[in-house]
Chains A and B, each alone.
Chain A
Amino acid sequence: GQQLNQSPQSMFIQEGEDVSMNCTSSSIFNTWLWYKQDPGEGPVLLIALYKAGELTSNGRLTAQFGITRKDSFLNISASIPSDVGIYFCGGATNKLIFGTGTLLAVQP
């Protein structure tokens, strides 16, 4: 099935560090979304982006819709242990396609 390229695949960081991850595609999307999934649960929507160049924040999270419309970025500042989980990007035009996920581990 079709998936977006998401990197890095995993990150192991210390509490308090900033985190950056990105998602790239060969296709143009009209919408970029970022989700977080905890073990045994469904993904939870973090941020939605609708315009090229758009920069949106949700607390310590900031996401950007790439100018080319083929990529998006998510930054987490001052990470805390509860940030642990798998982060997925999603790109949409007429359907939503997900990235491969970034596993984030935060050591207290």
Chain B
Amino acid sequence: KAGVTQTPRYLIKTRGQQVTLSCSPISGHRSVSWYQQTPGQGLQFLFEYFSETQRNKGNFPGRFSGRQFSNSRSEMNVSTLELGDSALYLCASMLASGTYEQYFGPGTRLTVT
């Protein structure tokens, strides 16, 4: 079974721009979560989607948003990029919401200049 895939793997953007990252979960998994990983803050939870509905949200500003499609694929969007948004963005899928056995993708490395 194919794992979680994320595209693109690497991205360089300029301050003020916006970016959209994509995640395809493991086949049959309906829950997708997004995390931001930085050396200083570690792994921080952004949000979780299940069956196209946001079920949980972390403490991030409204510039961070996401959505999930009917095929469980998910996108996250960051608007008005700031230098501090430079990070590894990880997507994780799990079979159903609440089991917490999450399987991570390789991540998208975003650099904001």
A residues near B (Cβ < 8 Å) are 1, 3, 31, 33, 35, 40-45, 48, 88, 90, 92, 94-101
Contacts and interface: CB of A to CB of B under 8 A. Distances in A.
B11 to A, nearest CB: 15
Q: How large, as a class, is the contact surface on chain B?
A: 20 to 34
A33 B106 CA distance: 19
Interface string B6-48: 0000000000000000000000000001010000011111001
A43 to B, nearest CB: 5
A100 B101 contact: no
Contacts of B59: 1
Contacts of B43: 3, 43, 88, 98
Contact of B104 (A42, A94, A99, A100): A42
A31 to B, nearest CB: 5
Contacts of A1: 41-42, 44-45, 58-59
Interface of B: 4, 33, 35, 41-45, 48, 56, 58-59, 90, 92, 98, 100-107
Main secondary structure, interface of A, reads strand
A99 B37 CA distance: 12
A25 to B, nearest CB: 14
Contacts of B48: 95
B41 A45 contact: no
A42 B42 contact: no
Contacts of B104: 35, 42-45
